[in-house]
Amino acid sequence: MTPRRRSARRSVSETVSGERGVIRFGYLEPAAYGLLPLVLPRFRARFPKIDLELHEMHSYESVRQLRRRTIEVALLRPPVDQDGLHLDIVYADRLVAALPEDHPLAGRTIGLRDLAGERFVSYSTKQGAGVHAAALQACAAGGFSPTIAHLASSTPMLMSLVAAGQGVGLVPQPFTMAPRPGVGFATLTDPEARSYVALARRGDDDRATYRELRDLIEHHAR
C-alpha cells in the first residue's frame, strides 16, 4: 500500500471513530466564564484534528438543534424532553441571589428564607426553564413560594430588572464573574440552591470523543 493510500485510510478511520472532523457544540452562557477556557485547550491537545465549533444557546434550542442534527453535543439544563437523547449530568452551578446594589443583603451570605418577603424576577420557562425550576425547588425547600413579579427572556433583561429595583433574582454563580451595573450579589447557604447541567447527545451517536469531552468537563467543573 502506498503512503498516500495509507494516509487516506487512516483519515477515513479517524473520521469514522470521531477523532477527525468538526463537532458542533451548543453551550450555556455561564460555561463561557470559567469552565470552557479550561476545557477547550485540553480537548484540543487530546484531539488536534477535531474542530470544536461553539454555539451559545439556551437548553430548549439545544434540544431542537440536536434533533435537527445541526449540533452534535450540548451543555443544557434539565428538565428537557429527553426523547431520542442521552444526558449525562456533569456538574451543578450554585445559585446566588442577584440584588439591587444598594439592597441591605447585597454582599452578604444569607439563607433563601431571608428573601421570602421579596418580589422575584425569574427566567421565562422557555428560555431558562432549568434555572427557573431549580429556583422554585430551592425556595420550596427554604419554606416559601416566591412571588414572581417579572419573567425575563435573557440574563441581561433579568439583571436590568434587578438593577431597576423590580425584584431580586436567582442566577448561576458564574454570572458574578461579569458584574452588571446596579447589581449586587449574595451568597446562598442553602444546599438546594443549585442548578444541574448535563452534556447531551443523540442516543444513536456515542463516539469516544464525546465521552472524553464529558470527562474533561466533569473534571474541571469540580
Instruction: Please answer whether residues 102 and 154 qualify as being in contact, where contact means their C-beta atoms are separated by less than 8 angstroms.
Output: no
β-pair partners for 188: 110
pLDDT tens across 123-178, in order? 998 777 899 999 999 999 999 999 999 999 999 999 999 999 999 999 999 999 98
> Which residues touch 220 (CB under 8 Å, ≥6 apart)?
35, 38, 39, 42
DSSP letter (8 states) at residue 204: T
Backbone angles phi and psi of 132, in degrees to 5: -60, -50
Helix, strand and coil content of the chain, in percent to the nearest 5, comes to 40, 30, 30
Query: Is the torsion defined by CA of 81, 129, 157, 74 positive or negative?
Result: negative
- Please report the pLDDT score of residue 2 as a whole number: 54
Q: What is the DSSP string of 25-77?
A: EEE-GGGGTTTHHHHHHHHHHH-TTEEEEEEE--HHHHHHHHHHTS-SEEEE-
Instruction: Give the domains, in start order, of the chain with CATH numbers.
Output: 3-91+196-220 (3.40.190.10), 93-195 (3.40.190.10)
Give me the residues of the chain with pLDDT under 50, please. 3-17
Helix (H, G, I), strand (E, B) or coil at 144: coil
> 3-class DSSP state for residue 200?
strand
Unique residue bearing C-alpha cell 503512503: 3
Write down how long the chain is.
Answer: 222
| Beta-sheet pairing, 21-27 with 50-56 | parallel
